[in-house]
Amino acid sequence: MLSQNHSGVLHKFKGILFSTLSSEGLLSSLDSFDAREDDVFLVSYPKSGTHWIAEVIESIPNARITLTSPIELGDISKFEELKLVCKRRVIPTHLIYDMLPVTIKTKQCKIIYIVRNPKDTAVSLYHYYRDNPNLPCIDTWAAFLEKFLRGDVVYGSWFDHLLSWEEHKNDKNILIMFYEEMKKDLSKSIKKITAFLGIYVSESEINKIAWKTSFSEMKNNAAREDSDQKHTICALTSNRNLVFRKGAVGDWINYFTSKQKRVFDELFTKKMKHSELARYFEDYS
C-alpha cells in the first residue's frame, strides 16, 4: 500500500501522495479515531485558506475552542494526544472525504470545507513546494503544473478532492466556503461561520475579527512570530512564514502561458462537467 519516493519526503497511501510527516500507521488507523459530537473540522485542499478560517475561529470571543494540529499529522499517538484536549476541538485536515474517519460522519460533526480557484491554488502550491523542505524540489513552474494536472502532488488531484466533497455539499453538517468570497466580504463570511458553529457574535465583534484576520494583518503577525511547533495548522510545515505569501485572487494570470491556460481549462471542463461548485470559478478563469 505504501511506496516511498519523491526525494524521500513523500509517500503514497491509497494512491494519494502524503508527506512523510503523516505516518503510514496513522493514515491506516484513521477509522479508529473517536470523534466528539461538538468537534469542528476545517477541510481544504492545500493552499486554499485553512489557516485563514482557523485564524477567524480562534479570534471569536468566548468560543471556548482549542485549535489542534491536523488529524493526519504525526504517528499513531496522535489520537491519544487529541483525547487530552478538554475544550471543543477544531481540527484541520486536507483529507479527501472518503479518507475522513468514519466517526466524524456517523456523529455528524460540523465540517467547514474551503474551496479556492484551482489556478490560484496551483500557483500557491508551486511556491510552497519551492520554499518548503518537507516537499520535493521543483525546478520550474511548467514542470510543477504538469504534476498538478496529473494529481502527482501532495494530497493528490485538486479535481478529485473537490468532487469527493461536492457529493456531500447538501449535508446539513457541512458548510462550503469560497476563498474568493472571503476576500470580497470577510465580515459576511465570518457571520456565516459563526452562525454555522452556533456562536453568537455582535456586529462590532465581527468587524474586529475581520480586521484582525485580514490577510495583511495575518501576514504581519506571522512575520513577527517564530515557528511555533504547538501551533501547526498545516500538515506540511510549522513555519508560519511559509503559509502567508500573497493571498491574491487572480495571481495565476502572471504564471500561466496561453497554452497552459488552454490545457488547464480543457482538463477542468472534462473533469468538472457535472460539478455545480466548479461553475463558481467561471468568473475567475
- Catalytic positions: 94
CB-based burial of residue 222 (10 Å sphere; 0-12 exposed, 13-18 middle, 19+ buried)? Answer: middle
Residue 225, pLDDT > 70, answer no
The pLDDT tens digits for 147-162 are 999 999 999 999 999 9
In the beta sheet, which residues pair with residue 115? 178
Q: How many CB atoms lie within 10 A of CB 34?
A: 11
Average pLDDT over residues 87-112: 98
b/e for 51-72, b at 16 or more Cβ within 10 A? bbbbbbbbbbeebebebbbbbb
Provide the pLDDT confidence category of residue 222 given band limits of 50, 70 and 90: low
- Boundaries of domain holding 61: 3-284
CATH number (domain holding residue 94): 3.40.50.300
- Please tell me which of 226-235, 242-251, 253-262 the model is most confident about, judged by mean pLDDT: 253-262
Average pLDDT over residues 159-185: 96
Residue 171, pLDDT > 60, answer yes
Considering only 23-32, 100-109, 132-141, which range has the smallest mean pLDDT?
A: 132-141
Provide the pLDDT confidence category of residue 25 given band limits of 50, 70 and 90: very high
Q: What is the structure's pLDDT at 2?
A: 42
Provide the pLDDT confidence category of residue 57 given band limits of 50, 70 and 90: very high
Residue 112, pLDDT > 60, answer yes
Q: What is the DSSP letter of 278?
A: G
Average pLDDT over residues 90-115: 98
Closest to 46 in 3D by CA, of 169, 156, 140: 156
Average pLDDT over residues 101-113: 98
Q: How far apart are CA 44 and CA 112, in angstroms?
A: 8
Number of H helices, E strands in the chain: 13, 8
CA atoms within 13 A on the CB side of 79: 16
Q: How many CB atoms lie within 10 A of CB 20?
A: 13
Provide the pLDDT confidence category of residue 227 given band limits of 50, 70 and 90: very low
Domain tally for the chain? Answer: 1
Residue 1, pLDDT > 50, answer no
Q: How far apart are CA 58 and CA 60, in angstroms?
A: 6
Tell me if 17 sits within 8 A of 10, measured CB to CB: yes
Residue 75, pLDDT > 70, answer yes
Please report the sign of the dihedral spanned by the C-alpha atoms of residue 141, residue 162, residue 29, residue 228. Answer: positive
**Roughly how many angstroms between the first and final C-alpha of the chain, as a whole number?**
37
Q: How far is CA 97 from the centre of its chain?
A: 13
Average pLDDT over residues 105-121: 97
Considering only 5-14, 96-105, 211-220, 223-232, which range has the smallest mean pLDDT?
A: 223-232
Considering only 15-24, 92-101, 248-257, which range has the smallest mean pLDDT?
A: 248-257
Tell me if 16 sits within 8 A of 155, measured CB to CB: yes
Q: What is the DSSP letter of 87?
A: S
